[in-house]
Amino acid sequence: MTPLAENSRPAVAAVIGLGSMGLGMARSMKRAGLDVIGYDITPAAVDRFVADGGRGAATPADAAREADIVVCVVVNGAQTEAVLFGPESVASTMKTGAVFISSATMNPAVARNLAQRVEALGLHYLDAPISGGAAKAALGELTIMASGSSQAFDRARPGLDAMAGKVYDLGGAAGTGAAFKMINQLLAGVHIAAACEAISFAAKQGLDLDKVYEVITASAGNSWMFENRVPHVLAGDYTPLSSIEIFVKDLGIVQDMARSERYPAPLAAAALQMYLAAAGAGMGRDDDSSLARLYALLSGAELPGPVKEPQSL
């Protein structure tokens, strides 16, 4: 059934940020019957969505003007704040009662601050970080970790149902969804680092890496990240599906949160140093499985495919 807004027309959704995640989310909502308007800082991204039958906008403010739901899929809290309150801001044109769905990964304190400012304008704010990657976004099967008022959930429901396979209602306070996402990112970052360390160590031992993958994925040492990321290493393909810089950012946020709580997070801290080293070696925009290449550079292990020479170590 086509999702309807209050006046019985198809709900209008604006998507700010049409990268690999945002484009899939926009397409999923359009496929579900919403009227979707897309904006991205890169005009070619907007053109791509328009070619799919969506509508494009020249600015975030223009995209949000008609929208019942504004979905913001940018990198971090600072970019989210700029979308909301910077030049050509969506907060200046959103209709009273519309909902802003914030999907960027950010410090929970930043999410709480943004929610207060948005709600003071008569708008709704849903703290709704996402997990699942570009493939799940394209299928409308993301996991969304959402927190906000019941009114925000109600307003956002047509978009949530279209974009997600699973929506977790984590309570009425913005910031809770962001905190759940940071726990996920702590684990994801550490697990990727461990997977890359293990497969590079296997290479250093001269083991058959395809056989290592077969054995470990059938054994207790397996993890979702080992199973997902090690094939990139075996193929020698580091095309960025999730970049090193993402975990420089996210594990940095984890460390900020832990420091403020006087909470020790040594495994996350060690993993962060490896991501920082990989970024410093010129791999920041490459796939996060490039940590394996960093281990190879440090140890002389031989991995499939070319190993990028470091710019600095």
Contacts of residue 214, Cβ cutoff 8 Å, sequence gap at least 6: none
Q: In what order do the strands lie in the sheet with 142-146?
A: 130-131, 142-146, 164-169
- Is 52 within a domain? yes
Please tell me the predicted confidence (pLDDT) of residue 312: 42
12 beta partners: 35
Same domain (yes/no): 184, 129: no
Given the residues 181, 204, 249, 308, select the one marked as catalytic. Answer: 181
- The domain containing residue 249 runs over which residues? 179-299
Please tell me the predicted confidence (pLDDT) of residue 153: 98
Same domain (yes/no): 129, 244: no
Q: Domain count for the chain, please give it.
A: 2
Please tell me the predicted confidence (pLDDT) of residue 9: 78
Please tell me the predicted confidence (pLDDT) of residue 305: 84
Please tell me the predicted confidence (pLDDT) of residue 4: 46
Of 133, 154, 173, the position where a domain reaches its end is 173
Residue 210: other Cβ atoms inside 10 A = 12
- Is 278 within a domain? yes
Please tell me the predicted confidence (pLDDT) of residue 309: 54
Of 173, 197, 217, the position where a domain reaches its end is 173
181 has catalytic annotation:
yes
Same domain (yes/no): 195, 153: no
Q: Rounded to whole angstroms, what are the CA distances from 118 to 70, 81, 121, 270?
A: 12, 10, 5, 37
As averages over each run of 10 residues, the pLDDT of the chain (313 residues) reads 55 96 98 98 97 96 98 97 96 97 97 98 98 94 98 98 98 98 98 98 98 98 98 96 96 97 98 98 97 97 75 42
Please tell me the predicted confidence (pLDDT) of residue 12: 98
